[in-house]
Amino acid sequence: MLYDAVVIGAGPGGYVAAIKLGQRGKKVALVEKSFVGGTCTNWGCIPTKALLSSVHLYSEIVEKSRQLGVTVENVQCDFPAVRSHMNKVVTMSRKGIEYLLKKYNVELVSAEAVIESNSLVKAGETTLETKNIIIATGSYPSLIPPFDRVPGVWTSDDVFKMEKLPESILIVGGGVIGVEFATFFSTLKIPVTIVEVMDHILPTEDKDVAEVITKSLKKKGVQIYESSKVVGVEPIDDGFRCLIESKEGKIEKTAQKILVSVGRRPKIGEDVKALGLEIQRGIKTNTKMQTNIPNIYAVGDVRGQIMLAHVAMFEGVVAAKNICGEESHMDYSAVPSVIFSNPEVASVGLHEKDADPSQVKIFSFPLSANGRARTILEREGFAKVIADKNTLKVLGMTIVGPSATDMMMEGVVAVRNGLNAKDLEESIHPHPTLTETILGAIEGVVEMPIHL
């Protein structure tokens, strides 16, 4: 049997590509050696957000119920029940993907794939002949020295296997993964230490963003060491002793668990290397997602570029369209970044730290001036808009606050479509809503904000 495409890896990039091809009547095989959904569904986005949803509700009850006139006693967080919720969500997500694959006649092959040529893929004992191949094998967590020589150190993949909460945890890396897990554990009153090598946590975001999240984490008791690194790790009874090299000198810290969250690396097998594909950190592609072998495509984390599930999905769609004969190109101009900290963080387009001050207008509108925020007892955060100084074209947006990850779509549409700040200002925003913080920032770029 000749397939139109064989997709290797059923993560966000792979399963989306397979479904899109199936919807267009193509004969597709999707090869996956583990669970469908990949890292995102099984060890990343979905289980993390399930855990964070539980502790967010817990913190809302503990911190706000009295002020909101709701009497609640003996509030507790039942971790086995939280874990059960997480597992149920993961299972439902997997089943949803499996249903869609079946609906669109995608043949799911449960096996490890080995690419033998640009037209042959061996899946277990079966050899699949195909016109096109899409490589979507994803990535794996980096485990850097000295942690790679110490047994028992966690990566983000390991956290979801825990059957009970640690008594304390040291997190190496204050990026998105580190901050989200610090939010989870600290909300449950577990002592957390973050060690970040850069000047501030969330180093890809602006400093004002990091300051809000730092303040929130410290309020929960998190100890944060910036411009610091762990230079030594030693197992001790029921934990680890770490030597931290910080701005204040060397500090010794102990923790029951260590979580290393310093990024991920593309998962590229020897079979892929043997094909002669061009590799620069990850598999190199053009904007059509083609490799240097035209009928072999690569999407998602295996490219080693923007390692986000929503980017992988979009790349999967682009690859599928090109295989179907419709010329399609990836546009990375408006890729949103979302962080499920408390408060949440979202950004798109140009950041203030990367902008030329002489060429832009920047305005931040504080969450504390928003009516809806006051009703839900929220004060920490802001919406920031960056626009071209002369044309007022929206170049970037950052939001810190509740529901920031949902509200960011206004910024994505604006940046992606080159909208003018006046276009957004003249769009009526519903009242009272948190989206009015965006309106306030837009008004500040155009002229003056009314509510400040």
In percent, the amount of the chain with pLDDT more than 90 equals 99
Q: How many CA atoms lie within 13 A of 186 on its CB side?
A: 25
Span 341-365, average pLDDT: 98
Rounded CA-CA distance 156/44 in Å is 8
pLDDT of residue 132 exceeding 90: yes
Is-cis flag, bond preceding 145, omega within 30?
no
Instruction: Answer whether 443's CB lies under 8 Å from 381's CB.
Output: no
Domains and CATH numbers, the chain: 2-141+265-323 (3.50.50.60), 147-260 (3.50.50.60), 337-446 (3.30.390.30)
Distance of CA 407 to the CA centre of its chain: 16
Closest of 352, 440, 359, 416 to residue 392, by C-alpha: 359
Apex 115 CA angle, 109 and 118, nearest 5: 115
Closest of 147, 152, 136, 179 to residue 40, by C-alpha: 136
Closest of 392, 404, 336, 405 to residue 362, by C-alpha: 392
Rounded CA-CA distance 340/213 in Å is 11
Span 255-272, average pLDDT: 96
Q: What is the pLDDT of residue 282?
A: 98
Span 360-387, average pLDDT: 98
Determine the 3-state secondary structure of 230 from DSSP. strand
Rounded CA-CA distance 215/190 in Å is 17
Q: What is the pLDDT of residue 389?
A: 97
Rounded CA-CA distance 308/350 in Å is 18
Span 63-80, average pLDDT: 95
Instruction: Answer whether 394's CB lies under 8 Å from 424's CB.
Output: yes
Span 147-161, average pLDDT: 93
Phi (first) and psi of residue 197, to 5 degrees: -75, -25
Rounded CA-CA distance 244/197 in Å is 10
Rounded CA-CA distance 333/348 in Å is 9
Q: Which residues of 347-386 are buried (b: 16+ CB within 10 A; e: fewer)?
A: bbbbbbeebeeeebbbbbbbbebbebbeeeebebbbbbbb
Over residues 219-244, the pLDDT tens digits come to 999 999 999 999 999 999 999 999 99
pLDDT of residue 390 exceeding 90: yes
Q: What is the pLDDT of residue 436?
A: 98
Predicted model pTM: 0.96
Instruction: Answer whether 401's CB lies under 8 Å from 382's CB.
Output: yes
Helix runs in 170-278, H state only: 176-187, 207-219, 270-274
Q: Give me the active site residues, please.
A: 431
Q: For the purposes of burial, counting CB atoms within 10 Å of the CB of 193, is it exposed (0-12), middle (13-18) or buried (19 or more)? A: buried
Helix runs in 275-308, H state only: none
Phi (first) and psi of residue 149, to 5 degrees: -105, 5
Over residues 14-63, the pLDDT tens digits come to 999 999 999 999 999 999 999 999 999 999 999 999 999 999 999 999 99
Instruction: Answer whether 261's CB lies under 8 Å from 173's CB.
Output: yes
Over residues 289-328, the pLDDT tens digits come to 999 999 999 999 999 999 999 999 999 999 999 999 999 9
Q: What is the pLDDT of residue 260?
A: 97
Over residues 317-348, the pLDDT tens digits come to 999 999 999 999 999 999 999 999 999 999 99
Span 354-370, average pLDDT: 98
pLDDT of residue 248 exceeding 90: no
Instruction: Answer whether 129's CB lies under 8 Å from 115's CB.
Output: no
